[in-house]
Amino acid sequence: MMKVVLAAGCVGFCATTVAALATDPLRVRQHDRQFDRRELTVRTGEMVRFSNDDPFLHQVYVESRQFSFDSNEQFQGEAIDVTFDRPGSYEVLCGIHPLMSVRVDVVE
Ligand SMILES: [Cu+2]
């Protein structure tokens, strides 16, 4: 009987967590030719939304052996959702503005 109660609690918790991730991803904004933070720590498998809040192009990318992605040209108001599914430390850069960078630490 006790096991059943515990299982029900876990199911409720898990459903809440999934709903929160689906509707409210972590966000990193690109504004004034900068990311809105210098570093970010996420759990493996967590999603981050990189949005372009500038009236010009950005191109957010990571290039490493373990993990890479490229948004290609990102227009004003566009966003890309990136799931960091490999633990590690990654420099997220902009292909258009070389001074932009944010480090994402992906922990187990
Ligand atoms: Cu940029």
CB 105 within 8 A of CB 40: yes
Centre of ligand 1 to C-alpha 14, Å, is 36
pLDDT of residue 25: 83
Amino acid found at 34: Q
Centre of ligand 1 to C-alpha 60, Å, is 7
**For the segment 28-73, what is each residue's pLDDT rounded down to a tens digit?**
999 999 999 999 999 999 999 999 999 999 999 999 999 999 999 9
How are the residues of the chain apportioned to helix, strand and coil, as percentages rounded to the nearest 5? 20, 45, 35
Q: Is 87 part of any domain?
A: yes
Q: Is 5 part of any domain?
A: no
The whole domain housing 96 covers 26-107
pLDDT of residue 3: 44
Two tokens, residue 32: 């004034």
Bridge partners of residue 26, in order along the sequence? 48
CB 96 within 8 A of CB 57: yes
pLDDT of residue 24: 75
Q: How many domains, in total, are found in the chain?
A: 1
Rounded Cα–Cα distance for residues 67 and 16 (Å): 29
Centre of ligand 1 to C-alpha 12, Å, is 41
Q: Is 15 part of any domain?
A: no
* Phi, psi of 57, rounded to the nearest 5 degrees: -75, 145
As residues whose CB is below 5 A from the ion ligand 1, the structure lists: 58, 94, 96-97, 100
Centre of ligand 1 to C-alpha 7, Å, is 47
Stronger pLDDT, 22 or 93, i.e. the higher one: 93
CATH number of the CATH domain containing 36: 2.60.40.420
Q: Is 21 part of any domain?
A: no
Bridge partners of residue 78, in order along the sequence? none
